[in-house]
Chain A
């Protein structure tokens, strides 16, 4: 075989070598690529891409947030609606109960009214307070006081019957200026006459003869009168 044939054979074998990279070559490949100092274009800062990505993210996020919120609101609304329906039903039932109870109550009241009417008519009081006082009044000269002997009556307030002790109330209920006026029994002490005239041989002075008088006093009237002077307050019959 000529030498050229040997060269050709070697060349052919080398050039047609299609064997895969062995491990050493594979490891070297990574190292070499990392070692390369190749000028590479600076990565363009695609602002618009980043902005679009951010906008998309924001949009997506907002959409997600609002959809969640809407769902939540829907749920709340449904719950509220259910609650409303429940309350409405309860209200209806309560209304019904109330009406029925009211009706029953009315019936009971009506039943109760009939016997009461009879009692009321019989027990309706004569709310009157009679005070009979006997006061000897000789103008402003001599007062002869007699004990008041008021008569008490029966007082009925509404449907309750009170049997009271003879009148004290009228005097208690008034606002008096001094203590003396507080007591209903109080009667002003007879003033000592400023002077006593003795007329001999003359006819006695004509004193006004006051007949017995029955005074019917309401509480208010008494109060009014008590605020005035005693002398003009009550007119009481005096027996001569």
Chain B
């Protein structure tokens, strides 16, 4: 069953298709939400909301070729994750930093577990902006709009996030982890 058929069947409220849809997108949705939320239970709640929304509104989804469905699912997940972040603990963004500040990223040995661990330790504000900008490729304008912050705040949060990562990587280098 290709994506188009899957969408069609899910629109017809076919239980089997819905199950297949869930099986297909569960991993990506769960990990994406976890990357923003960190907390496991919060992630679970968000994933439930995401799938409920997606399956309820899938009949309104316009299929625009391969990849459009996963993009749509990611958008819903990010939006719901940010909603959850805002709802539970409002983000307090720290002072803006100067734009010319740059971070030197040396060669570090990285694996996905290390990346995830660093992101989990990262402050929520930094993490949200870093996820949106660096990983999910949102622009500062979009981030500003989504998070209700200024573009500069978004940029400064990103810079701080990068610094935090380097600090964490350096710490690991010092302790040999």
Contacts and interface: CB of A to CB of B under 8 A. Distances in A.
A89 to B, nearest CB: 71
A3 interface: yes
A140 interface: no
Interface stretch (A21-29, A130-138, A145-153): A21-29
A17 interface: yes
Interface in A1-32: 1-3, 5-7, 9-11, 13-15, 17, 19, 21, 24-25, 28-29, 31-32
A38 B18 contact: yes
A40 interface: yes
B105 A3 contact: yes
What is the predominant secondary structure among interface residues of chain A facing chain B?
helix
A112 interface: no
B47 interface: yes
Nearest to A2: B105
Interface stretch (B9-17, B61-69, B146-154): B9-17
Given A14-B115, A41-B14, A35 B55 contact: no
B39 interface: no
A36 B30 contact: no
Contacts, number: 86
A3 B13 contact: no
B26 A10 contact: no
A29 B30 CA distance: 9
Interface in A172-206: none
Interface residues on A, range: 20 to 34
B115 A3 contact: no
B135 A10 contact: yes
B105 A5 contact: yes
B55 A38 contact: yes
A114 interface: no
Given A3-B162, A41-B13, A11 B135 contact: yes
Interface string A46-73: 0000000000000000000000000000
A115 interface: no
B103 interface: yes
Contacts of A14: 35, 112, 115, 135
Contacts of B111: 13
Nearest to A37: B52
A33 B19 contact: yes
Contacts of B137: 11
Contacts of A11: 134-135, 137
B107 interface: yes
A28 B30 contact: yes
Given A25-B27, A36-B52, A13 B44 contact: no
